[in-house]
Amino acid sequence: MSEYAKIYETGAINTGGRDGVSYLSDGSYEVKIATPKDMGGTGAGQNPEQLFALGYAACFHGALEIVKGQHKIRNKSQVFHTVSLFKKTDAADFKLEVAIQVGIQDFSLEETQQLADEAHAICPYSKALNGNIDIFVRATNYDASKEK
């Protein structure tokens, strides 16, 4: 790792686990954490999988923007992350899976897939998770109705 220079660092604190509060150590953000209703909880807050999906989607899209810039592409893009939590039926053993869908306006699925794969290769989240969880990266058509 000696060829890398640290450019940012942050800290987060959780109290109460899946039914508690998570907040950044600098006090700039706080979120109520709740177990989803379909897992027996109240659902009255966000869960770790939702927060992971938000963070990973933002990080991956940032990597995609860098890749697009390298190719001088200015078309709009969108990234959808679906995070699934799995549990072994006979043990307290869990794992995650991530499905990533990437759409680039006015690009073919083949062109989009190539850029998505390049982004996956440089995204810090993708690198950290490589070999640890199943990650599926797939090109999809750009959907203008999803713009905010």
Mean per-residue pLDDT, 10-16: 97
What is the reported pTM?
Answer: 0.93
Read off the pLDDT band of 148 (50, 70, 90): confident
CB of 70 closer than 8 Å to CB of 95 = no
pLDDT tens digits along 25-83? 999 999 999 999 999 999 999 999 999 999 999 999 999 999 999 999 999 999 999 99
Same domain, 5 and 66: no
Range 4-39 burial, b when 16+ CB lie within 10 A, else e = eeeeeeeeeeeeeeeeeebbeeeeeeebebbbbeee
CATH number of the domain within which 34 lies: 2.20.25.10
Range of the domain at 83: 48-146
Q: Quick one: which of 86, 82, 98 has its CA closest to 136?
A: 98
Same domain, 86 and 40: no
pLDDT given at position 147:
87
Q: Which helix (H) or strand (E) holds 130?
A: none
pLDDT given at position 24:
97
Cβ count near 133 (within 10 Å): 14
